[in-house]
Structure 1
């Protein structure tokens, strides 16, 4: 094998059909979010809608935070006709994408100055369908490949997702400006045309769903338990009530019971790791933009370095992290990612000492975002490995919610800390709170059997699934 072949071999995982499909599905997932968030806020403000109303519109995005509430439906309910034709996961994806296209077209036909409620209704429809699509794409990703491939799938998903966010923000704004001849005056037709284009671009997701192969989902255990529960309940309750209760138990309670039965007392240790893994970068990220402003950096410098170049480095880090996980396993790269993220926060402490310095900020953001990309790829792969076939949508939706709760709570005090102790101490503190995570990873790695497969097992499973 030549040197070039050896260097390229670790990246061959990105040539798998499933990885390319996840790239397109990631694009489909990332597009709607900005259409009901920052892009919509820009449209409303330019139309002359007051800031208070725009602030209330932002609550629409809270739909994504509560998607775990209906995730059991995605796991356990089959869609008539569609499920029989293309399978349960793909049928839910296709349905949510069709609803998204219709809802975005509804937003495109709205006039916020004449009927704001019309726009609100379709924006809520977009958010709900988009959150549902996120649930099923996560489940599809987990069910489609073994743990050894999850980081590569997650990296491809992130690339697609972030690319779509650029299209839905910069792309939509450019289309709106172009269709109104770049006039400074508000143009309803320009914004409507931009949203019509975004609705058509959602066809990327439909195409990916149709090209994808339905993953094999093992529901035998949950189906058997549901049937046993139904038969027992029928002895004392009407059949219709017994069937409803048995389904609810299987869909909503069983995913929790399954998780704690598989991991026992170690389940609490795993949940502690999930709750703390991203604490360092989330707490630091809350104050990042305020820090840049206080250091004297201009808006265009922040946009170019943090938002564009930083995004590119995150995607490169995610792709590199996917390759590393595929080569060395999840737990080792999970440890490496946590170590890198905690350590790179010290670069911002140094930035606070030297003040305004564009080259050093570029270096700090590059290293930090690259490290975050590696950590995120490994962490998503780890979360995916914790779910069970048949419960993947519900369990992943819950686990991904847990990972944000504690860090977001702690981050709420970041401004007070900076006011009292300054930026240098703040960034050093952000670094220090990340190091106990390394202990949690070591304990989990020692006490919990790894869900990872050997290369031979992964290859065999890939062949069986038609990868």
Structure 2
């Protein structure tokens, strides 16, 4: 396995030129988080908004936690004119990047105090386009590396992580440096950010489109569903109705339960009731789908020719596009292990989310200037992350993904305690530099192993859908629950030290859960690794 690789053999994986495109796409993937994250928080803070308002503004990042709902469309829908010219992956990347540029430019034309709702709207548009861009970029990365030794996936994860942090932390220092200059205001800063995003679009024009047979496989799956539809009565219609109900329920829960009937049902039961409703729909849907799959296997041996209607074609397309990726993930891993994997993904970075969302507000309240934040929080974090993401990937290639996850998780919990020390000591620049250095190291190490795990777990036919599903689940904890970080700080009467101690403890449950599934997860990773090497040998 990976533990047998020598140090020189491990480093040889980084000589692949395709990793350079992964790095630059990583920059483009991390940069939108600046526009709607740290820069937006700084802008809102300068305009006098409260901590709770700034924290709740982060709800626009919910799009990153639910982008799996439309991720299969990135595999199948073709962008008019663009797809024919540049291919499926690059056309989606270019479209989403163009939307980000336009929306960011529009933010440079508004007044935050008088047009807060407009700012939120364009922020949401950037987050939606950014989350959709991530789907296409992640699928591109997995597609170009999936036919090689699986250790290339770990190297690619390191380059993607280094690129993401370059966009988020490296380029993310630019707005804070600019806004501290004389005569610079936040609207002008956002014009610069739009220009920078436009420059990042160059990568999608110069890289090659990955080749695969995904479309043929998906068409075959769709045809199997279609042949079984005419003999199912009203079951296709039931499936067609249940699917959007599930999606709408997930979106409804993520946007804060609007128009909830508080006069009849207390808001305390929102999460429980919606969860039970979604689970019930999933149970009914799985039963209908199981019967449909049995019919497919039966009809494959039958020569009966039935009338195929439009509803049959639409249902078959939806099933092949939206359902088949999820069904394959559960069939391949087994229901118990699949659910266990998804639960670990949800828990792993929960503590980091609470810390990250309020970090800028914390730095400002402790007494650091915008320039201090730019040079210490952004630049040091950026350099540290790049170095340690590469070091972490070398360790992961040699000794395995699970060991990388354990070390990264423990280190992330420990680093959060340094922020508690900062809250007690005050604006000490040396302590600030040391804290962000350690935080960058732990985040990089954990992120590389985390991304490598998700990449290895994907089936090559459903890379966009399955990777987005797992990433969205992890992002749900970081975005949806992390949005309440400001409320927690207010509830603690601004006790930042206690807040950061709580975030450290949030990492522990995920490590306990990872330990409980270590054996089946290791067996699964080794199996996927052997299959990848077998594919390389057969070529």
Q: 1:171 to 1:456 in 2, by over 3 A?
A: same
Q: Distance in 2 between matches of 1:355 and 1:51?
A: 23
**CA contact under 8 A between 2:43 and 2:186: conserved in structure 1?**
no
- Contact 1:28–1:204 (CA<8 Å) still a contact in 2? no
Distance in 2, matches of 1:133 and 1:7, equals 35
Q: Rate the CA distance shift 1:30–1:266 in 2: closer, same or farther, 3 A.
A: closer
> 1:86-116 CA distances to partner (integer Å, 9 max, x unpaired)?
44223322343455556666777x5769x97
- Summarize the Cα distance change of 1:462–1:304 in structure 2 as closer, same or farther, 3 Å threshold: farther
Unaligned runs of at least 5 residues, structure 1:
1-5
Question: 122-131 or 252-261, which moves further after superposition?
Answer: 122-131
Contact 2:161 2:444 in 1 (8 A): no
CA–CA separation in structure 2 for the residues paired with 1:102 and 1:346: 40
Deviation at 1:243, TM superposition (A): 0.9
Alignment of 1:221-300 (within 5 A): 222-235=218-231, 238-264=308-334, 265-285=336-356, 288=359, 296-299=366-369
Gaps of 5+ in 2: 1-5, 234-306
The Cα shift of 1:332 comes to 1.9
Does the 8 Å contact 1:338/1:438 carry over to 2?
Answer: yes
* Equivalent residue number for residue 159 of structure 1: 162
Alpha-carbon distance in structure 2 between the residues aligned to 1:424 and 1:33: 26
Aligned in 2, Cα 1:118/1:71: closer, same or farther, shift over 3 Å?
Answer: same
User: Is the Cα–Cα contact under 8 Å of residues 278 and 403 in structure 1 kept in the other structure?
Assistant: yes
Find out whether 1:434 has 2:507 as its counterpart: yes
Q: Which residue of 2 aligns with 1:450?
A: 524
Contact 1:43 1:191 in 2 (8 A): no
> What residue in structure 2 maps to residue 206 of structure 1?
204
**1:10-25 paired onto structure 2 within 5 Å:** 10-25=10-25
Q: Give the drift of 1:142.
A: 2.1
Q: How does 1:62-461 map to 2 (within 5 A)?
A: 62-79=62-79, 82-83=82-83, 86-100=86-100, 126-146=126-146, 147-165=150-168, 170-171=173-174, 184=183, 194=192, 197-198=195-196, 200-207=198-205, 210-216=206-212, 218=214, 222-235=218-231, 238-264=308-334, 265-285=336-356, 288=359, 296-299=366-369, 301-348=372-419, 357-406=428-477, 409=481, 412=485, 414-415=488-489, 418-419=492-493, 427-448=500-521, 449-452=523-526
Taking only aligned residues, the RMSD between alpha carbons, in angstroms, comes to 4.4
| CA distance in 2: counterparts of 1:360 and 1:310, whole angstroms | 14
* Structure 1 residue 184, shift from structure 2 partner: 2.7
Partners of 1:333 and 1:142 lie apart in 2 by 20
The question of whether the paired residues in 2 share the 8 Å contact of 1:93 and 1:137 is answered with: yes
Q: Structure 1 stretch 224-233 or stretch 25-34: which is displaced more?
A: 25-34
Tell whether the 8 Å contact from 2:176 to 2:373 is kept in structure 1 after alignment: no
Aligned residue pairs, count? 446
Give the Cα separation in 2 of the matches to 1:157 and 1:225.
31
SS at match of 1:214: coil
| Partner SS state of residue 93, structure 1 | helix
The CA distance in 2 between the partners of 1:344 and 1:37, in whole Å, is 21
Structure 1 residues 127 and 272: alpha-carbon distance in aligned structure 2, compared to 1, 3 A threshold: closer
Equivalent-residue separation in structure 2 for 1:368 and 1:78 (angstroms)? 41
Distance 2:529 2:124 in 1: 44
CA distance in 2, matches of 1:392, 1:455: 16
Shift of 1:145: 1.7
Cα 1:326–1:462 shift into 2, 3 Å: farther
Structure 2 distance, partners of 1:57, 1:94, is 27
What is the TM-score normalised by the length of structure 1? 0.77
Q: Is the 8 A contact 2:458 2:466 kept in 1?
A: yes
Measured after TM superposition, the shift of residue 356 of structure 1 is 6.1
How far apart are the structure 1 equivalents of 2:385 and 2:60?
Answer: 27
Deviates more, 1:130-139 or 1:338-347: 338-347
Secondary structure of 2:458's aligned partner: coil
Contact 1:226/1:250, CA 8 A, preserved across alignment: yes
Counterparts of 1:43 and 1:425, CA distance in 2 = 26
User: How far apart, in 1, do the equivalents of 2:219 and 2:389 lie?
Assistant: 37
User: Using the alignment, how far apart are the partners of 2:405 and 2:389 within structure 1?
Assistant: 12
Change (3 A) 1:274 1:32: closer
Q: Measure the CA separation in 1 of the matches of 2:511 and 2:156.
A: 25
- CA distances 1:29-82 after superposition (whole Å, capped 9, x unpaired): 334444466657888999xx9979x98987765544442232121122234565
What secondary structure, in the 3-state scheme, does the structure 1 residue paired with 2:460 have? coil
- Find the aligned partners of 2:500 and 2:182 in 1 and give their Cα distance: 44
Give the drift of 1:22: 0.8
CA drift of 1:378 comes to: 0.6
Distance 2:496 2:185 in 1: 41
In structure 1, distance between residues paired with 2:515 and 2:110: 56
Cross-structure match for 1:3: none
Pick closer, same or farther for the CA change 1:183–1:130 going to 2, 3 Å. Answer: same
Deviations 1:169-222 (A, max 9, x none): 554677899xxxx7638798x669636733641333333xx3234143545554
TM-score (norm 2): 0.68
